[in-house]
Amino acid sequence: MSQKRDYYEVLGLSSGASDEEIRKAWRAAALKYHPDRNQSDKTAEDKFKEAHEAYQVLSDSAKRQAYDRFGHAGVDGASYRSADVGDILSQFQDMFSDFFGGFGGFGGFGGAPRRRGPQPGQDLRIDSEITLADAMRGTKKEVTVRGAAPCDACQGQGSEPGHQPETCSSCGGTGQVASQRGFIMFTTTCPSCAGVGQRITHPCRACKGAGRVEKTRTVLVTFPAGIDAGQRLRVPGQGMPGEPGAPAGDLYVDVVVGEEEGFERQGYDLITREQISFADAALGCELELELPDETTASVNVKSGTQPGTVLTVRGRGFPRLDGRGRGALHVVIDVAVPRKLTKRARKLLEELDEELTRSGQSAAKTG
């Protein structure tokens, strides 16, 4: 009879366990008997290997089927038991790195430590308001940004002019140092250079080696014609400065568009209201409108135009950001009704009303 323990018993499972249950059981056993966590327990390594052997068989459908039918005789377990602990840990590096990640990262076996490198600067976000006219024709505007900016004295390098940063002697420029605990090699961020890989031996006196100073600066932002409220513009490299040798972040400008009396915007269309006299509505007329961008648009009002009529002029709205033409101008017609009339005006209107009534009756009879 085999002296080996039953593989299901090793992992604390029933014979009907699912693949996910097998994986979870192996993970729990591996972390429980991890050699680095049980340096005083001489049996931990054997239990670790035993759990790995069980997992290797039960996680493989063909091997598991053979084991279920014939037991240990159906699989070659010796090859699993003899596996080196380092090979096992390397094989499942992702799983153990999840566990040990909070301690500075899992170095792996023979893998080169990765240099963190200088960190890029953070992005900034501000609001900026422009007029409706600016949105229609496009504009350039200086916006004020308050925050860290590259030091002028050292050009953001952090070192006093005439000096250069030196390679960190503690980590050799990699930004990380390695240490061994039991069977595992761990890598952590170098405490001497904070993971940068370089040390500033002669800090700039103006910024004390930081490479940046707090100040107010202006950034020229281009607002394209057709830009609308709520849209966001990106200005590369105008955010917070990065660490010495790293790029700055970006500046994001959220657009606010002010109101303009007499006009409103809907998408790329421009809407306005225009009041005309009763005579112009009845006889027809030509309107010349001045638009927010200081251009003019001609609007033809046909005779008999009714109050509330919307007249549309194509191509006189806002430019489309994709360059495919412009929106339309919509003119809502209001007809002015006089509040006071002279005697003559009243008499003329009465005569007009009589004439219109007769002509209407005549037209009805003819019809």
Across residues 204-230, what is the average pLDDT? Answer: 89
Is residue 45 scored above 50 in pLDDT?
Answer: yes
pLDDT at 269: 96
Is the pLDDT at 258 greater than 90, yes or no? yes
255 or 62, greater pLDDT:
255
What pLDDT was estimated at residue 110?
39
Task: Give the pLDDT confidence score for residue 16 in this predicted structure.
Answer: 87
pLDDT in the model for residue 84 = 57
- Ramachandran category for residue 72: left, alpha or beta (phi over 0 → left; psi -120 to 50 → alpha): alpha
Work out the pLDDT band at 183, boundaries 50, 70, 90. low
C-beta separation of 145 from 217 below 8 A: yes
Residue 300 banded pLDDT, cuts 50, 70, 90: very high
Phi/psi at 313 (nearest 5 deg)? -115, 110
CATH superfamily of 7-83: DnaJ domain (1.10.287.110)
CATH of 118-150+212-258, one of 2.60.260.20, 3.90.245.10, 3.40.50.1820, 1.10.238.10: 2.60.260.20
Determine phi and psi for 292, rounding to 5 degrees: -55, -30
**66-74: average pLDDT:** 78
Check whether 286 has a pLDDT greater than 90: yes
> Rounded to the nearest 10 degrees, how much is the dihedral formed by the CA atoms of 191, 193, 196, 200?
170
pTM over 0.95: no
- pLDDT, mean of residues 154-166: 84
In this chain, the answer to whether the domains covering 7-83 and 118-150+212-258 adopt an identical fold is no
Q: What is the pLDDT of residue 130?
A: 96
Range name among 84-98, 129-143, 270-284 with the lowest pLDDT average? 84-98
Confidence (pLDDT) at 85: 55
Q: In what order do the strands lie in the sheet with 310-313?
A: 263-266, 269-277, 329-336, 310-313
CA distances from 258 to 1, 135, 255 (A): 88, 9, 10
For range 320-338, the mean pLDDT = 93
Backbone angles phi, psi at 246, to 5 degrees: -115, 150
Token representation of residue 225: 């014609």
* Residue 337, pLDDT score: 87
CATH topology for 263-336 is HSP40/DNAj peptide-binding domain (2.60.260)
DSSP secondary structure code for residue 202 in this structure: S
- pLDDT for the residue numbered 254: 95
Contacts of 24 (CB under 8 A, 6+ apart): none
Q: Could you give the percent of the chain with pLDDT greater than 70?
A: 82
Res 309: pLDDT: 95
Residue ranges per domain, the chain?
Answer: 7-83, 118-150+212-258, 263-336, 343-367
- Residue 77 predicted with pLDDT over 70: no
> Which of the pair, 74 or 258, is modelled with greater confidence?
258
Would you place residue 355 in the very low, low, confident or very high pLDDT band (cuts 50, 70, 90)?
A: confident
